[in-house]
Each structure stands twice: as C-alpha cells, then as structure tokens.
Amino acid sequence: MFSIFKERSKDSGSYARTGTLLLNGVQIETPIFMPVGTRGSIKSLSSSDIDELGYNLILANTYHLYLKPGKEVLDHFHGLKNFMSYKRALLTDSGGFQVFSLASLFKFEEDGVRFQSHIDGSHHKFTPASVIDMQRSIGSDIMMVLDDCAPYGSDLKRLELALDRTHRWAKESYEYWMERPNGQNVFPIVQGGVNESLRKRSLDTLQNINFPGIAIGGLSVGEPRPEYIRILECMAPYFDQARPRYLMGVGTVVDILEGVKNGVDMFDCVLPTRNARNGQVFTSFGKLNLRNEVHRLADGPIDPECGCKVCTTYSLGYIRHLHKVKELTAFSLSTYHNLYFMQSFMERMRKAIEIGNFKGFYDHWKNLFGS
C-alpha cells in the first residue's frame, strides 16, 4: 500500500475525521477544500495570493490544459507548478467530467474517448494511458483516472456500462502508472449514480486495487440533496480507513458538512470563486449579495468577524461599488475573501472534530447556510 495519509482523530457520533495528507514533502491537514485553477490559474488571483491564503493543495484540469497551453509547453516548463510559480501540491482531474459536461462533443470507444475541442473543433482522443501521460507532463501530485460519469437519471443499463468502463480503465491506469510512479499518485473514481448497490460494488472493486486514495464522482451533478446524502451514507461504513477520500466537484457549505459527516477528507469546487465574481460572498452570518442596494452606504467590512485583508481594509459599500461598475478589482477582492472564508471554515471544522464538537459545528453552519 502506498501510504500518503495518516488519520489523526475521529468524531464519536459520525464518520467525520481529521488527518494529514503528505504529498512530496507538502503536508496538508484534512478535511480540506481545494480551490479550482482550471487552466493553471485561480481566476482573478495570483499564485502569491494562493500562498498568502495558505492553500497547500489546489486543483487544475487535464482537459483544458491539454488543449491550451498543451503538452509541449508544459514539458518545456517542467510542469504546471513551475509554469505558474506555485510551489505546493497539485491535483488534476482526468478530463472525465468534461466528457459528462460537454457530452455532445465526445464519443465513447472501447479503449477511450474521442472528442472535439470546444475551442476550435479539432479532433482528439483520450485513453487511460494518454491522460496519465498528460498528467505526468502537468506534474500533478495526485492524478485522476479516466472514467465514465453517467448523467443523473440514467437507467440501470447506462449505469452498468459506466461502471464497466470506469473499472476497466481504472485497472489499466493503475498498471500504466505503476510502470513509472515518479513520485505521483493516482486515485480511481467511484461511480454508480444514486444506485446504492452499484456504489458499493464500485467502491469494493476499486478499493481492492492498491491505489493510494479513492475519489467519489458522479455526485452533485443534479441529484436532489436527499439523494446525495443517501449515497454518501451508504458508502461511509465501507471506506478504507488507511486511504484519503476525495469527493469531486463539491463545494457548498452544506454539502461539505454532509461529506465530512460521512468520512470524506477532500473537496473541490468552482462555486466559491464563481459566486465571488457574481457578487455573492460567504460570511460568518450566511451568504451575502454584494450588489444589493441596502449595502450602498455600508461603511463596515463584508464580515466583521473575518480577518482577511479585504475585510480589514475595504468597506462593504466600496466593494459593492466595484461590482456595480464592473471593475476587475471586484473579482479579485471578492474571490480572495471567499477563499479566506473557505480556508477558515475548514480549519474550524478540523478543530471541532478534534475537540469532540463536530455535531455542534455541523448544526450551527447547516442552520446558517441550509436551503
């Protein structure tokens, strides 16, 4: 077993836990939220901003980096971290989610996926091996396997087909990666839609392969929250304690709370940064729309309890003004605040688990952000 994770503490009333993830000398405390830098940049922020915020692990996307800047550029710069001047740890998706989200441009084949670029219509193909090669060029500390994420509402036949592809490609990916691990790690992706039996089968199949961690895909893709929770609850008792668990594409406060309650260690989502650019920020008293007229004369910070440089420097009224006149600074300041909030939220959650107060923490934040 490749050992990259050590469990530190557990909540007595749920599956919530804290731990330490070690990736090539970078230590990451879990549960963790990872900001998304799809194309090698977290929108509106610099790499020094990310360092300042204290994020030790961020996410980038293989599909988008494959198209631009491309493998040749990333090889020339010896990986994305050098290219973007980011020195901590990096996780990359395999492009499997783009197969799901850009379905009209993709066609499944026995050994991979053919697709047209959404940029210029050019034709390409991903295979289990080629996406590992691309992630080797990116220099990811955690690489994801190519998988098949069936859309929500798929019938049993489509879900079974997705499981067959996902498991077959995971085994191929593992064997190819093992030829040259090169200090990188690979996670397989559990699929199965909202079918409990298929989810358990997928988890069992993939945990029987010696991957360093496990990812859960195909959730937060349109299913109602009760379905999301039910599937997490059905898997929670069967997670391998020795491996980190990563729930892909999940980033609302409530969904993270449910994930941690059911034993998930890692999360990523574009929502905190995308919402910030659209004028919605997260605070200690819930969500706040920066563009509302009521904030026009607000001379206090976004959140009086927040210690970020935005809240200690600028008034809510000023940031509202920037959004209303579409100044680019509005994006960077709001994004910085939201990522500071997410970092602080996860840190407080870890402390709550360690001191045995996860239930109180869960109840407090679910009440504030629940919908």
Residue that is written with structure tokens 């970078």 in the block: 26
Q: What is the pLDDT of residue 371?
A: 63
Burial class (CB in 10 A: 0-12, 13-18, 19+), 219: buried
| 137 within 8 A of 72, measured Cβ to Cβ | no
pLDDT in tens, 297-310: 999 999 999 999 99
| 231 within 8 A of 196, measured Cβ to Cβ | yes
State both tokens at 91.
Answer: 């996780």
**Reported pTM:** 0.96
Query: Is 95 within any annotated ligand binding site?
Result: yes
| 344 within 8 A of 54, measured Cβ to Cβ | no
Answer yes or no: 268 catalytic: yes
Residue 220 is given by DSSP the state S
Query: Is 153 within any annotated ligand binding site?
Result: no
From the CB of residue 97, how many other CB atoms can be counted at a distance below 10 Å?
A: 21
Out of 93, 141, 148, 303, which one is annotated catalytic?
A: 93
Query: Is 76 within any annotated ligand binding site?
Result: no
How many residues does the structure list for the chain?
A: 371
Out of 148, 265, 268, 303, which one is annotated catalytic?
A: 268
Q: E-strand spans in the chain?
A: 5-10, 17-23, 26-30, 32-34, 57-61, 89-93, 106-109, 112-116, 123-126, 142-144, 185-187, 189-190, 214-216, 245-247, 266-268, 280-283, 286-289
Profile the chain (371 residues) by mean pLDDT over runs of 10 residues. 90 98 97 96 98 98 96 98 98 79 81 90 93 98 96 95 97 98 97 98 98 96 95 98 97 97 97 98 98 98 98 98 98 98 98 98 96 63
- Between CA 371 and CA 369 the distance in angstroms is 7
Query: Is 217 within any annotated ligand binding site?
Result: no
pLDDT in tens, 27-53: 999 999 999 999 999 999 999 999 999
Query: Is 311 within any annotated ligand binding site?
Result: yes
Answer yes or no: 133 catalytic: no
Phi and psi angles of residue 222, each rounded to the nearest 5 degrees, phi first: 120, -10
Query: Is 64 within any annotated ligand binding site?
Result: no
